[in-house]
Structure 1
Amino acid sequence: MKKKSGTSMYDDEMLNTILAVFEEIVNILKENQNNDSLFYDSANVKRLLNISDSTLFRIRKSQDIPYVKIGRKIFYPKSFFINTLKK
């Protein structure tokens, strides 16, 4: 691919602006990776406890595990697992 000779100052400014925006996006994504969420979803809990869908359903229905349902998705507080596994 040939590069045009004589790029305008506007093109250089636009490129610098785009690069700055991408750099900001990358920094935000890196910060979000370090911040753990406060909840696990069902897939995380099943993987953590090595259980099936039906087992998680039974545990949830027996009220042995706290959960929050938002729409059709179920979330489990991370603090419950941290405190339970410490004991």
Structure 2
Amino acid sequence: MKKKTSTPTYDEELLAAMLTIFEELLEALQKNKNNDSLYYDNADLKRLLNVSDSTLFRIRKSHDIPYFKIGKKIFYPRSFFKNLLKDKGIL
């Protein structure tokens, strides 16, 4: 009788490729964890400005601060706030 050599199936290859991608993503996230982000998210900005969700919504809709959305997540450029503080002489 001939022995079957075990060759990886398509599912196993796919799983291995996905694992590799996830490991690379995890590595990249861990490296960026120490770096300052270029953007604030809603939670960061609410904490920074000490405002509620509804107040942040009103500020955003009045176009007083720049923002953009990726999916359902909203981001605010950190540089806008740094420049604002520099203009006010705080930084």
Gaps of 5+ in 1: 1-24
1:44 counterpart SS class: helix
Shift of 1:85: 1.4
Q: Which one-letter code corresponds to 2:37 in the other structure?
A: S
Structure 1 length as normaliser, TM-score? 0.63
Distance in 2 between the 1:46 and 1:86 partners?
20
Aligned residue in 2 for 1:33: 33
Distance in 2 between the 1:49 and 1:56 partners?
9
Equivalent residue pairs, number: 61
Structure 2 length as normaliser, TM-score? 0.60
Q: Give the CA RMSD over aligned residues.
A: 1.8
Shift of 1:77: 0.3
Question: Which runs of structure 2 are paired with 1:70-81 in the superposition (5 Å)?
Answer: 70-81=70-81
Gaps of 5+ in 2: 1-26
Aligned residue in 2 for 1:66: 66
Segments of 4+ moved more than 6 angstroms: none
